[in-house]
Amino acid sequence: MKKIFAVVFIIFSKISLLCACTTFFMNKNGQLIFGRNYDWVTDAGMVCTNLKGLFKTSMKEEGGETINWVSRYGSISFNQYGKEFPTGGMNEKGLVVELMWLDGTKYPAVDKRPAVGVLQWIQYQLDNCATIEDVIATDKKLRIASAGNPPLHYLVADANGRAATIEFLEGKMVIHQDKDLSLAVLTNSKYDESLNSFNNSSTHGNNSLERFGQACKMIQQLNTSTKPLVDYAFDILSKVSQGNFTKWSIVYDITNKTIRFRTNRFKEIKTLSFSLFDFSCTSTAKVWDMNQTATGNINQLFENFTTAINKRIIETAAKESSSEVAISKESQEALSKYPEGIKCH
């Protein structure tokens, strides 16, 4: 487990140079939309369904105990380095959680709370939370391990039309929501710094602040657009794209419980509908390789999740990112088999 833990750190420690992710949340006439660009060196990945009613034990992290839980909600997630370790996703209640790099992050010091990794923290939220209040409340139950985890922050939104940024600064969870979140946009700078830069038009050539400002401007112009809101979200994602480093562009339609996405190599927009999946724990989890030709609704194209598929995606991601990270065969095998220990409660 320690080797897997180290792998996750190595993977994300390179993102400070290569990842320029952008996220945002919009509410227009009650339609709630969440947009996300994922930037990295490999576009290998899978879309996974995650079932409710499953008993899970977190991966052992350095300096902390594990935590057990039973997933309350089904979800759809985007995964590169193994199922149960998503970069983001949405659950059936409409909660969306997405990550971004943030230099200066400092997670809580070791205490009595169980510790999880930065990716499993996302799956825990999708499994257990329906609102941003629920997510914030989990800080009393668990923490992100302080040792070895990469510096990240998160944008979270829910079906009540609320959003929040979650950062970990000086060992504490720092939240911006409601009046403190005048523009629900997040890139790779602290939210306070980003908003101050936007208000004073002072990016100083900082790519993160420029993307934040561009997304904010387009959201402020939202009411003048006659485009469907999903299309407008993809326009924003295109505007802040980082060329070939932008591997995935994802738009979550929280109101209608649908997800649309495209990849750098397969630019046709694919659509997923929550209503067409069975999330009961007695059903079989589904998976779809993100990099294949398809367009429109792809629910029926999903196949049953297996360890072999998990292993193939992990191995592809590891190979394609080998110029930046080294992931041993032993670690890849352990990551691929991790879901085998998860059973219906």
Q: How far apart are the C-alpha atoms of 238 and 215, rounded to whole Å? A: 10
Q: In this prediction, what percent of the chain has a pLDDT beyond 70? A: 94
Residue with tokens 């991790």: 338
In tens, the pLDDT along 211-226 reads 999 999 999 999 999 9
Q: Give the lowest-confidence range in 8-17, 19-28, 33-42, 228-237.
A: 8-17
pLDDT band of 19, cuts 50, 70, 90: low
Q: How high is the pLDDT of residue 327? A: 73
Q: How high is the pLDDT of residue 148? A: 81
Q: How far apart are the C-alpha atoms of 174 and 230, rounded to whole Å? A: 30
What is the H or E stretch that residue 250 is in?
strand 246-253
In tens, the pLDDT along 53-79 reads 999 999 999 889 999 999 999 999 999
Number of domains in the chain: 1
Give the pTM. 0.95
SS3 239: helix
SS3 54: strand
8 Å CB contact between 108 and 146: yes
8 Å CB contact between 186 and 155: yes
Residue span of the structural domain in which 102 resides? 2-344
Name 251's bridge partners. 35, 260
8 Å CB contact between 298 and 259: no
Q: In what order do the strands lie in the sheet with 96-101?
A: 172-177, 163-169, 152-157, 96-101, 88-91, 75-79, 46-50, 286-289, 303-304
Closest CA to 86 of 74, 95, 98, 94: 98
At position 189, the amino acid (one-letter code) is: S
- Is the pLDDT higher at 108 or at 1? 108
Name 181's bridge partners. none
* Backbone φ and ψ of 119, nearest 5°: -85, -40
Over residues 256-266, the mean pLDDT reads 97
CATH value at residue 77: 3.60.60.10
